[in-house]
Amino acid sequence: MARYTLDDLARLVDHTNLHADATEADMKKLCDEAKQYHFKMVAINQTQSAFCAAQLAGTDIDTGAAIAFPLGQTTIAAKVFETKNALAEGANEIDYVVNITQVKEGNWDYVKDEMTQIVAVCHEAGVPCKVIFENCYLTEDEKLGLCRVASEVKPDYVKTSTGFGTGGATVADVKLMRANVPAEVQVKAAGGIRTADDFLAMVSAGATRIGCSAGIPIIEEIKQRMAAAGVDALDL
């Protein structure tokens, strides 16, 4: 159990807009909101990296580029190039989607090679790498297989979902992932997290990042609850 102030909770939020039709005005709004609420990161499509990095220059808010998003169905070489390009454009966090076909085939050598190469690029640049499992398409054995690979490669985070699949984060998946990767590999919950109760349940289950587009109403609701209870922190 850990103690969280309202700012601590806001710093768990990866403030997200990954819509294909997002405009430059939408991206500016996302970055302005992240600054206002002191979120940890903006989660954006890779092509928005330079614009968002410029908007967030001089702040402690990161620009998080999504790689091979949302399907994960590009080659390792393509993912590595996209990662390097995002970093060159100003991104300073990376969330990439695993090759789900190779997971389904049980081709763990491929999955490990992919993870190793992308994590190496990120760590050479000194930026965090998050590996998106997309759990809605996976069996429990496949989730555990990805956890085993992540335990060897040690990305900074394993992540439940893109938010664009047939399902999003669940408390059960967060608990499973937390229990099956080492402590230095953190867990990010994303996909379908829309209420304060959802958010707090994911944190209580072991998530240390929450990817969502509803960060503002969530933090506002938690703020109101804390004020009503006369407390300045929550134990989760």
| Catalytic residue selected from 79, 173, 188, 198 | 188
The SS3 of residue 154 is: coil
Q: Which long-range contacts does 56-65 make (Cβ < 8 Å, 24+ apart)?
A: 56/31, 59/35, 61/31, 61/34, 61/35, 62/92, 62/93, 63/90, 63/91, 63/92, 63/93, 64/14, 64/91, 64/92, 64/93, 64/94, 64/95, 64/130, 65/89, 65/91, 65/93, 65/94, 65/95
Separation in Å, CA 158 to CA 96, 108, 168: 10, 16, 14
Does residue 188 have an active-site annotation? yes
| Catalytic residue selected from 95, 156, 173, 198 | 95
Contacts of 118 (CB under 8 A, 6+ apart): 67, 76, 79, 80, 83, 94, 96, 129, 131
Residue with tokens 């059960």: 172
Does residue 159 have an active-site annotation? yes
| Catalytic residue selected from 130, 159, 173, 198 | 159
Does residue 28 have an active-site annotation? no
Separation in Å, CA 141 to CA 113, 135, 148, 158, 176: 20, 11, 10, 16, 11
Which residues form the catalytic set?
95, 159, 188
